[in-house]
Amino acid sequence: MHILRHLHPAIIHFPIVLFLLAASARIFSKKVPAPLIQLLLLFSIAAGFLALITGLLAAGPLTWATLPNLLRLHMILALTWWILACYLYFTFAKDTWVSLTIWLFASVLLLATATLGGAMVHGW
């Protein structure tokens, strides 16, 4: 279990960077090829899944009732982001204001999740 505490922080940076790159390209650029954006999103989802799993394992044998509130919120936000990222992948061809709103919301959600994670690790 000791290695998992170090594995989660190492993995977590990949979905953050990949998703924010994909979101920035999708929202602000028409020059980035759509297949590249979709590939970044797919890798972000895969890395996010690994981060979710390693995070759950690193949390240890806690039950939902015994989780600290900050960790519980972090887990809820992370899972919500991952579900939204999957939705964006499977509805990628739709370029509507709803899709744009979800891209923006998922980006903010990911940043909030990362901030909570940093607060727990660094004790802000």
| Residue-level pLDDT, tens digit, the chain, 124 residues | 567 667 888 898 999 999 999 999 999 988 999 999 999 999 999 999 999 998 888 877 777 777 788 888 999 999 999 999 999 999 998 888 999 999 999 999 999 999 998 888 887 6
Domain residue extents for the chain: 2-117
Distances 42 to 61, 73, 108, 123 between C-alpha atoms, Å: 30, 25, 19, 32
Please report the pLDDT score of residue 96 as a whole number.
Answer: 87
Got the DSSP string for 38-90? HHHHHHHHHHHHHHHHHHHHHH-S--GGGS-HHHHHHHHHHHHHHHHHHHHHH
For residue 61, which amino acid is it?
P
